[in-house]
Amino acid sequence: MSPHPPSIGVTITLSTEDSYPPYMVEEDSNKARAASETPELDKHSERRQLRVLTFYRSISWMLGFRDKYSLLNCFFWGGALVGVCLARTITMNPGRLPHLLIPGEWFWLSQSIYKPNLFIHIYLATFGGIAALFQFLPAIRRRKVILHRINGYAVLFCLIVAVTCGSIVARRSFGGEINSQSSYYIQAIMIIYAALMGIYNVKKDTRRHRKWMLRMVVYFANALTARLIALPARAIMTIIGTYYSIWRCDEVINLLRAPETIQGSFPQCAAAGINPADVYVAVHASTHDPPLYVASAARAAQGMALWIAILIHIIGVEFYIFQTDAANQVRLNFALEPRDFTQD
C-alpha cells in the first residue's frame, strides 16, 4: 500500500465564451448606448426641421405665396436685386462717383450731355429696382390694391426714364465700343417694350400683365449679371494675353499724363502736330498692369458679358413663367383669383 493517498486530479476548464477582451465590452456598450440615443437624436432633428419648415411656411403665408418655392425665389433673386441697388447707392455721391467708375470713363461722362443723364439713371434705377420687389408680393397685390397700383406706376416711371437716360450714357459707357453699345440698346428696347406691354394689359389681362412685368424686371437686372460675368472674363483675357481695345489718344493722355510714359508706350500720341482726338491706339487688356490696361480689359469684356447676360435672363424668365403658369391669377373685380376660379 502506498504511504500516500492517491491524488485526485481535478481539471478546471475556463470557457472562453465567458471571457471578453476589454475593447469588445466597450464597443458593445457604445453600440447599445448609440442605439438607445439614436431615437432621441432623430426626434430632436425632426423637431428642429419642423420648426424651420413651420417658420418658412408662416412667412410664405403672410406674404401671400402659395407655391413652396416662391418665397425662396423671391428672397434669393429679389434680395439680390435689392442688395445690389443698396450697394450701388454709394454712386449717388457726386464727389465719389468719378473714383468708382472704371479708369478713364469719367473723361466722357463728365461732359454736359452725359453727366446729368448718368445721375438720373443712377438715382431712378436704384429707387425703381428696390420698389420693384414689392410689386411681386402677393399680400400687397391682394390686400393693398391701391398701393400696388401707385407703386407699380412709380416703378414703371423710374425704370423707363432710367433706361432712357442710360441709353444716352451708353454711347460712351465702357469706351462706347459698338459691341457694348448694341447690347445696351437692345436691352433698353426689351425693357421699355415689356413695360409698355405691362401697362397695356394691366386692366385687360392680369395674367399677361404679370408676365410682362416679370420680364421687365428680369431684363432690367441684365447689367448686374453682366458685371459678374465680366469679372472672370477679364481675368481670362489677362491670362491669354492677346486682347486689346481701341482708345483715342486724348483718353490715353488723360490717364497717363506723364509725357515720358506716353512717349515710351504710345509714341503715336506724342508725335508733333497731331490732334489727340483724331489718333487711335490699341491698348493691351490686362488686370495686372496700371489702370489704363485694367480699363482696357473692362472695355474688351463688357460687350460679351452683356450679350451672355441677356441670353441667360431671357431663358431664365421664360422658364420661370412656364413653371409658374398654373399659379397665375386673373382679376375678379378688385381681387386676384386662380384662373379656374368660378364666381357663385
Give the long-range contacts of residues 164-169, CB within 8 A, separation 24 or more: 164/188, 164/192, 165/117, 165/118, 165/120, 165/121, 165/124, 166/117, 166/121, 166/125, 168/113, 168/114, 168/117, 169/109, 169/114, 169/117, 169/118, 169/121
The pLDDT of residue 64 is 74
0.85 exceeded by pTM: no
Q: Under 8 Å CB-to-CB from 190, ≥6 apart: which residues?
A: 215, 219, 310
Residue 6, all three cell numbers = 492517491
In this prediction, residues 90-103 reach a mean pLDDT of 92
Q: Which of the four pLDDT bands, split at 50, 70 and 90, describes residue 291?
A: very high
Q: Per residue in 153-180, pLDDT tens?
A: 999 999 999 999 999 999 999 988 899 9
Q: Per residue in 186-227, pLDDT tens?
A: 999 999 999 999 999 988 888 899 899 999 999 999 988 999
